[in-house]
Amino acid sequence: MAWPTLLLVPLSVLISSAIGCNKALCASDVSKCLLQELCQCRPMGSDCPCCRECMLCLGVLWEQCCGCIGLCSEQSRQQSQPASRSSVEDLPLPIPSLFRALSTVSENDQQMDWTIVSISVQEELRHRHHPQHLVLGPSKDVEPGPDPGGHATAPCTVVYFNACMSINHCKHSCESMGAAKYRWFHNACCECVGPDCRGYGSKEVGCARCNT
């Protein structure tokens, strides 16, 4: 494997040589992820085999620091704001009853620092093919079909955590509340997607204290 040879070059030199890299902000965290061998690949077209692990490692610093290791396009970073891009993933063990119970808690309950939003399935599916989201793992999107009983389709309910958080924290927080999927915006806003959603919820940022 070619990577050990690269380690002969000091990590600080590799990081500082990247164009547009904020060494003061990124050096420590990027070095940690490189030493853990989580960011040691090069994108080939749309394929980036290590981006998921590297993103989880860098957390909220991914947007500012992925350029230090050549894992994000400088041109695309300049063309769109972080809040317009997101990463989505299906969660392996959703608990629908738990999510529905938690997502009916009143937003006036100050112990719950989140915002609950319900949207129609039709509106939610219009957000599904958002061109600037990265799918982490196999997609399980389901096309809407007619309800054989003639009943109205349940709305898609999502929960936004009001504070910013890392992608790893977002994933674990959504898992703990029984969500089926999650969407992490690249400005660090976290959206947990409920079991009645057909796609990945809304592409709109809805975190009260993390909207920039």
Domain range list for the chain: 3-79, 82-193
pLDDT tens, 17-63?
455 677 888 888 889 998 988 888 877 766 778 887 888 888 878 87
pLDDT tens, 104-115?
875 545 577 899
**In the predicted structure, residue 162 carries a pLDDT above the cut 90:** yes
Q: pTM to 2 decimals?
A: 0.67
Phi, psi of 122 (to 5 degrees): -60, -45
Residues in the chain, overall count: 212
Q: Residue 208: exposed, middle, or buried by beta-carbon count in 10 A (0-12, 13-18, 19+)?
A: middle
* Half-sphere exposure for 169 (CA within 13 Å, toward CB): 12
* CA–CA gap between residue 50 and residue 42 (Å, rounded): 8
Q: What is the pLDDT of residue 193?
A: 96
Place of tokens 């399980």: 140
